[in-house]
Structure 1
Amino acid sequence: MRNIIIVVCMCLAFAKAEATILQNYRQHTVAQGETIYTLTQKYKVTSKQLLELNPDLSSGLRYGQVLLIPAQNKVLTQRRIKKYKKHRVRRKETLYSLAKKYEITELDIKEANKELYSNPLKKGDRIQIPVFEEVELTVVEPNKEEVPAIEVPLEDGKYKVKQGEGMYGIATKFGIKVLDLKKLNPNIGDLKPGMVLNVPKSNAVQNEGELIGQDGNDTQIDNQKLIEYTIPKKMGMYSLKKLTGISEDSLIQWNPKLKDGLKEGMKIIYPNPNYGKEVVKVPTKVNSNKIASLVDSLNNFERQRLAIMLPFSLQKIDGENTDRDNLKQDRAMRIALDFYSGVKIAIDSANTMGIPVDHDIFDTQKSLQATKNILDATDFADYNTVIGPLISTNVVETAKELKSFNTPVVSPLTSTDVRLYRNLFQARPEEEVLKNKLKEYLIEYAKGKNVIIVTDNNNQELKNEFTTILPAANVLVPNAKKNYIFSIEYIKQLKPDVENVIVLAVDNVGFITDAVTNYSAKTDTHKITMFGLGNYEEMELSNIRLSKLNYVFPQMFKESVDTNSFIEKYYSIHQITPNSYATRGFDITLDIILRQASASDLYESAMKNGKTVMTENKFDYSKKFLAGFYNDAVYLLQYQEDLSIKELDINNLKVDTEE
């Protein structure tokens, strides 16, 4: 019995000793917009220390994530409790103030007083304050004044591990996730200095043969280790990461000034992925504000051959069902037929101008497998350009298969969020382009006016986007429980003596219809201009109300009102006026034909000719680094008193503002 008691006492003694060693760390909840770099700067720690305490960081930083942060910077300590102080809590004292007073963490206090994990600190509580004895272990931190040395791989696809490097740091350096790096090195355990890893090959960079910036800020560098790049107007960190191909933290490591944000005209540097390789120079893109007249610059009258890939779904037509029955049932088929009706007129128009064009049609049947079958069975080497397919997955598959031929593939109606292949032209502007066009105009227009932003509790991201660019605005925040804005809240912020600018930072049908209804009712006594992200046709809002509100919105096309040669030609053939799909088929096809007739190919024309304006659509293709071409041209439209819709020009607005 005595021996049992001795053993139990020894176990308790060891347990007590173990319990007196507390780690020196604090907790941090990740806020919106924080990065690993900003956390290392805030808490004076290294990214390696963060990763050691938070292994989940290897898969990225998440909003709301709770992290453990080392409490000190230049020293790591093994914290053994030497003794406890007694402390009686006074009025207004908090865990934060006590931790600051005794130079420990709130977590240290909670560990010494377990009841504080579930109960709040109260006046009169008697608690224990741990006193630590510390053994210092110096941590060598990188010299922030020195520019890091460039890592040149032993050979393409290989990388030698440096002292202190981990999987996360190497994965970040090559712009991939830790999981992807592990897949490339399945038999690698713990990393050691000098170990050679498999990393992504840079042949994609070599194939691009170019380093192209945005808005004319192209940097041609043949054999230099670093690229110097000038930040253009309106560029954000997301665009800069896509351009350079490296992470935000790496960009800030190379350019510490970036932690204060991107500014127009700022010069930065980043590693040249083409270092040591032959780089093919390409023509610089012209000023995108200038509208190109392709008809006046025709110089290439060689015969063109186009491939038209559309979901006609001909396999559905049989003896039992008529074409009309199929058209009623299949929306994609209707769109394909309308689109192709415009394509045919564009080709006829080109032939009339002396540009010989042949075309072949391929039925993709809305099927990825059918698309693959077409690609396997057809030699596309002799085609100048492929228009289609309509569905984004089929478009990406087509571009992937035809990139070896360097054949341009134009996606006419859909956009994809995957990185485009270098031969893929996305003719439909991305939603972000539309939104940025509205923001750019709104920033200038709202100056000196009473701005009211309508928000939705369920879409904080959209709210933050507009409150950031309009910091002085009145923000209508819905009731927290019901997520609803009462009618009185809409109108009580209005001012009768100045123009009121209403911004719909919402995508909820209820908020949009309520805002339009409430504000349009006040237009007799107040001057109001409303801004939104779409024409909201599906909501069937009254055009009269939108006209009263001088409603402004971005759109990829402007509906043609006046009769033109295309409408007349279309009507003479089909006895109806063309819808938006037929017009888009005409605009995209004729734009491609004219571009190819005014340059050696579509690639050169995209860089040389810049923006074009067709019947209802604009095209201004920008080449993105290590990706394809994106159409950045959109319309900003406004309802007029007579219910017509007018295009707005931000350049004219800036002139008026300055005057």
Structure 2
Amino acid sequence: MNKFLFVLCLILLFSFNTVNAQNFSTHQVKKGETIEQIASRYYVTVSDIYALNPDAKEELKPNTVLIIPVSKSKKPKITLVKELQGFKKHKTRRKETLYSLAKKYDISEEDIKKYNKFLYADPLRKGDKLQIPIFKITEEIEEVELTKTYIVQPKEGKWRIAYRFGISVRELEELNPEMGEVLQDGQEILVPNIDDDKEQEVDEKYSYYKVLPKEGFYRLKLKLGLEQTEIEALNPGLAESGLKVGMILKIPFSDTFSIEESNKINLSDSIVDFNTKRIAIMLPFRLNRVDFNTADDTKKSIIKDRYLNASLDFYSGVLLAIDSLKTLGVSVKVDVYDTKNEVGEVSKIIDDNDFETVDVVIGPLTSNTFEKAASKLRRYNVPIVSPIGTNVKLYDNVFQSKPSNDRLKSTLVNYIKADTLTSNIIIISDSKHTNVSNDLKREFNYAKQVHSRKNKKSGEDEFFVTKQDIEDALKPGKNIVFLETKNEGFVSNATSILASLIKEEDKSTNTDALEITLVTANMNNAFTADGVSNEHLSKLQFHYAATSKSYNEADDNVFVNRYRRLYKTTPNSAAVKGFDLTMDVILRIVTSEDLFMSVNNAPLTEYIENKFAYKKKLFGGYYNDSVYLVKYQDLTIVEVKQ
């Protein structure tokens, strides 16, 4: 036997042993048989079969041997029914026994005795004339449904249900093609018909991880720091089923690895409190600085004062939200205060007005005035929401609606870590972002760092790199390139070089493909400046994490249309934030006991450009933990599914 055949036999032997060890069976495809028929026969799903037999997706050829996994559904009860058709005569020979005759005619010893009653009293002897019964045997299979109906429980998303019934999210979606992106409390869906005692409960003391494509136990060990035996111990049945794409695994608690899923709640469908709510809006209009002598003077004052500009834009969105809430039957009394962007004015406003009956305060905008308002309102336990700031002290009555920069960075880093196809990571930075570059290097210890060139005489940063600097760091295949800077010229320089280096595979010249995806852990105005080419950013599929996403102007958005009709202009991000935040805050207090309780009742809400998923600090207030991952694609910015 040559070496090739020997190795092949070993592979087949190991494959056979693996199949047996994992309780799989095999099926030889018959002519005309469909994948649906095979799945139905073994009480598994089509995706179960495709997961182990990917070639079957292309073509199901007769005589192909498929590996069939163990069914998770209840097994049907099979009853054998024997119908007597007649008898066959048999004369007993020497050394024949009831056991050998039963085996020869494929019947039981009891069947032989039943139709030869003398054998109950006497032993079988040579020469005995027997009548051997001939049976027609049929199988009666008790019908068992592969699926059963399940009622979605409060706060349950797709991954929780998939984990409960031991399937992947994709399999759950295949069972329920019309289930939608967001599951509603009380919604009826189909799940595998498994025994109740085999259902798995989600334990909040653990984290849960979704298996990615091409991910095996070795990659999981590198990523999660867990041996195969440890993962299998936490996930009963995994040793038999093996890893599958989209499978949900229980792992020790981790802040780094958690499943984010679309469990958004539409609060407008859940309004229970129609009593008038009182809210306060605190914004730095600084009307004391506005020159009202003429219309032109007023316009100039507005243009020059960035605080007044931001306040007016935000407040325009607030007004439209309150008008929208009226159509839902929600009554709101709004107190509007001009903080003048002065700490003393904030203190005076709270001292001179009755805030004990206020349900929630939105604003002020700046950190020092916001902290003063939050600290004074603590005595009344009045919740206060920060519209735009992240550098705020989280008192126990504070809601920080803008996700932190650390949350943005971790979202992007975790997304890249989850990409198992990435072969190379490069970090390009200027001297002002050396610390950021080093932090990223610690996250990706195999990454290469490229620094902007410095003036040889002065040592000052010149904010550029050469083509050779980048080219030396690239590898054939997929490259992720971080660009960390706030310099517009450096962004323009680096992106133009990177875009020019992308190559497609060319077999005629033996050229390997070279893919480049641009990312940044610190999105800022330098990337959107006029000197930066959007074509280059689109070609590089520029990815970044954002606190909000831009609405699509091509969509027939009711809010945008109403805003344009009312204000004769397109709403900017401040106006949209005013609308989204006001809608969310008021809907939360009319669907829950108060804003604090809404954190549990409404884990994730989303509006035009912003989403809100508040979490509470152990000793402190509440912070928005939900961010978007977006990318440039065909000169537009689109959301990336995480």
* C-alpha contact 1:446 1:501 (8 A) present in aligned 2: no
Residue aligning to 1:625: 618
Partner secondary structure for residue 308 of structure 1: strand
- Equivalent in the alignment of 1:548: 539
CA distance in 2, matches of 1:233, 1:464: 29
CA distance in 2, matches of 1:575, 1:477: 47
Match of 2:290 among 303, 317, 328: 317
Distance 1:366 1:267, change over 3 A: closer
Distance 2:302 2:284 in 1: 12
2:207–2:254 CA contact under 8 A, matched in 1? no
Distance apart, 1:320 and its partner CA: 3.1
Aligned with 1:299: secondary structure?
coil
Largest Rg, 1 or 2: 2
Matched residue type, 1:329: K
* Contact 2:280/2:336, CA 8 A, preserved across alignment: yes
Q: Distance in 1 between matches of 2:361 and 2:274?
A: 19
The equivalent of 2:474 in structure 1 is 494
From 329, 335, 354, the counterpart of 2:310:
335
Tell me the distance in 2 between the aligned counterparts of 1:307 and 1:287. 33
1:303 Cα shift? 1.2
How far residue 381 of structure 1 moved from its aligned partner, in angstroms, is: 0.7
Q: CA deviation at 1:232?
A: 5.4
Q: Which amino acid aligns with 1:534?
A: M
Contact 1:339–1:584 (CA under 8 A) maintained in structure 2: yes
CA distance in 1, matches of 2:438, 2:424: 18
Q: In percent, how many aligned pairs have the same letter?
A: 34
3-state DSSP of counterpart to 2:426: strand
Displacement of 1:513 in angstroms is: 3.0
> Counterpart amino acid of 1:518?
I
Give the direction of change, closer, same or farther, for the CA distance of 1:319–1:475 in structure 2 (3 Å limit). closer
Which residue is equivalent to 1:299?
Answer: 272
Pick the aligned partner of 1:638 from 626, 631, 638: 631
Match of 2:136 in 1: none
Q: Give the TM-score normalised by the residue count of structure 2.
A: 0.55
Match of 1:379 in 2: 354
Alpha-carbon offset, residue 419 of structure 1: 3.3
2:429 to 448, 455, 468: 455
Alignment of 1:352-501 (within 5 A): 352-416=327-391, 418-445=392-419, 447-478=421-452, 482=459, 483=461, 485-495=465-475, 497-501=476-480
Query: Structure 1 length as normaliser, TM-score?
Result: 0.54
- Pair 287,461 (structure 1): closer, same or farther in 2 beyond 3 Å: closer
| 1:554 counterpart SS class | strand
* Alpha-carbon distance, 1:479 to partner: 5.5
Residue 607 of structure 1 deviates from its aligned partner by: 2.3
Partners of 2:429 and 2:309 lie apart in 1 by 37
For residues 132-147 of structure 1, what are the structure 2 equivalents within 5 Å?
Answer: none
Confirm or deny: 8 A CA contact 2:422 2:480 kept in the other structure.
Answer: no
How big is the shift at 1:567? 0.8
Q: Distance in 2 between matches of 1:323 and 1:595?
A: 37
Alignment of 1:1-150 (within 5 A): none
* CA shift for structure 1 position 288: 7.2
Given that 2:486 and 2:524 are in contact with CA atoms closer than 8 Å, whether structure 1 keeps it comes out as no
1:565-644 correspondence runs (5 A):
565-640=558-633, 642-644=634-636
Listed one character per residue, the Cα deviations across residues 302-347 of structure 1 (whole Å, up to 9, x for unaligned) are 2111101111112123443532111111011011011111101101
2:515 equivalent in structure 1: 527
Residues 6-47 of structure 1, C-alpha deviation per residue, up to 9 Å, x if partnerless? xxxxxxxxxxxxxxxxxxxxxxxxxxxxxxxxxxxxxxxxxx
Deviation, 1:492, is: 2.6
Q: Give 3-state SS (helix, strand or coil) of 1:639's partner.
A: strand
Partner of 1:539: 529
Aligned-partner SS, 1:302:
coil
2:351 match: secondary structure: helix
Could you list the runs of 5+ residues in structure 1 that have no partner in the other structure?
A: 1-215, 217-228, 235-262, 269-285, 651-659
Provide the secondary structure at the position in 2 that maps to 1:610. Answer: coil
* 1:287, distance to aligned residue in structure 2 (A): 8.2
Distance 1:459 1:267, change over 3 A: closer
Give how far 1:599 is off.
0.4
**Structure 1 residue matching 2:279: 3-state secondary structure:** strand
Aligned to 2:640: 648
**1:560 corresponds to 2:551:** yes
Cα distance in 2 for partners of 1:458, 1:639 equals 26
Task: Answer whether contact 2:421 2:478 (CA < 8 A) is retained.
Answer: no
Q: Is the 8 A contact 1:371 1:394 kept in 2?
A: yes
Report the 3-state secondary structure (helix = DSSP H, G, I; strand = E; otherwise coil) of the residue aligned with 1:527.
strand
How far has the Cα of 1:538 moved from its partner?
Answer: 5.3
Relative distance call for 1:364 and 1:623 in structure 2 (3 A) is same
Deviation at 1:530, TM superposition (A): 0.7
SS of residue paired to 2:480: strand
Q: Counterparts of 2:427 and 2:399 in 1: how far apart (Å)?
A: 35
Contact 1:288–1:610 at 8 Å: present in 2 too? no
State the shift of 1:292 in Å: 1.4
Matches of 1:591 and 1:342 in 2, distance apart? 12
CA pair 400-370 structure 1, distance change in 2 beyond 3 A = same
Q: Which residue of 2 aligns with 1:308?
A: 281
Q: Distance in 2 between matches of 1:553 and 1:266?
A: 27
Q: For residues 567 and 432 of structure 1, do their structure 2 counterparts lie closer, same or farther at Cα, with a shift above 3 Å needed?
A: same
Letter of the structure 1 residue corresponding to residue 433 of structure 2? N
Contact 2:318 2:579 in 1 (8 A): yes
Q: CA deviation at 1:621?
A: 0.9
